[in-house]
Amino acid sequence: MFKRQTSKPRRRSRSQILEVRVMSPRIVWFGFLRIVGKLAKIACLLAILGGIGWGCWLGIQQAFYKNPDFRLQVIDLNPNPVIDEGGVAEVAEINLTGSLFDIDVDAVTAKLKAMPAIREAHVERHLPGKLVVRVSPRTPRAWISCPEAGLQDTRGAGAMLVDQDGVAYPCPELQLESAANLPCIQLPSSEEHPIQPGGRIPHPELAHCFRLLESARAADPDAIHWIDSVKQVNAWSLLLVTREGISATFGLGDHERQIASLRAAMDHSGEEGYDIATINLIPKHNIPITLRTEATPPRAVPIAEPTAGELREQRRSSDLKTLLNRN
């Protein structure tokens, strides 16, 4: 028997695989057409989705933004002495003839909170046409004057007020009537403790004056009607000036006793008919007092200007009286 012998080169030639790649312009063209076809399908799909989105947007515009039922009809604002409905529309740049959905409630809230006289604000849409606005105004505690910083001792719209948290803010016109009788705290100018609208006053002298005013109010709820101004004159004393022109010196503490002594001296001077010029309340006994030789007229308290509604009511009453007199 004979075995078939195969040489190694022949075995190798059978195991080899021949790869042939055929490239021609026609094959390239058909490949390009397949790619273009896929891209066209994607473009058609995107166009359909875009058309559906555009149609939905137009539908939303017609159903909400351009629907007269959702037009802004009223601004529901809580009663407050800082801002009215017209002021809200002006500050927030609200289009009073536009749709309720055109109003960005977050932007309106931010603009109201940016007002120094407003402590907190919240705005909501209530369908079909109501914008609900709730603001928490600052409650004034006293006027602030600092002539060196340009803050004069005046009581009027735009003058500086300070609230119970020590935050300074310009007096709104609507709050002038209720704040006109408040005392004025005089502060020195300080680069370390600037007085800025909407910012807390970190001046240490403000806290001393606040404590004196609180003691006066605790002893007499009507203290704001006879206290004109308070200021710290040195490191150990405060000066309180009444509306009758009495200059009373207080210490930084023991205010309850000193207020009681001042009230007793004022009552006695009223009964006996003499006028006090100065009084030093720091000593507990033998309190020094100086008298005025001429009476000083009380300081006038500014009165807020009449509102437009009050002026219309006055004119209406005047016209009615004139008509009755003619008849």
Token pair in block for residue 159: 């003058």
> For position 82, what pLDDT does the model report?
93
Please give the Cα distance from 122 to 159 (Å, whole number): 26
Domains located in the chain, CATH noted: 68-137 (3.10.20.310), 140-291 (3.40.50.11690)
Cβ atoms of 160 and 117 closer than 8 Å:
no
Please give the Cα distance from 259 to 206 (Å, whole number): 19
Please give the Cα distance from 194 to 188 (Å, whole number): 10
Cβ atoms of 198 and 167 closer than 8 Å:
yes
> For position 18, what pLDDT does the model report?
46
Question: Residue 83 contacts by C-beta under 8 Å, 6 or more apart in sequence?
Answer: 77, 91, 112, 115, 117, 118, 135, 137, 172, 174
CA–centroid distance for 26 within its chain: 75
> For position 317, what pLDDT does the model report?
54
Phi, psi at 229, each rounded to 5°: -155, 160
> For position 309, what pLDDT does the model report?
55
> For position 321, what pLDDT does the model report?
44
pLDDT tens by residue, the chain, 327 residues: 444 455 555 554 544 544 445 556 666 666 766 777 777 778 777 777 776 766 665 555 555 556 666 788 899 999 999 999 999 999 989 888 888 888 899 999 999 999 999 999 999 999 888 999 999 999 999 999 988 777 877 888 999 999 989 999 999 999 999 999 999 999 988 777 788 889 999 888 999 999 999 999 999 988 989 999 999 999 999 999 999 999 999 999 999 999 999 999 999 998 888 899 999 999 988 889 999 876 545 444 444 455 555 555 555 555 434 433 443
The CA-atom distances, in angstroms, between 77 and each of 86, 139, 306 are 10, 18, 22
Please give the Cα distance from 70 to 310 (Å, whole number): 34
Neighbours of 120 (CB within 10 A): 12
Cβ atoms of 116 and 83 closer than 8 Å:
no
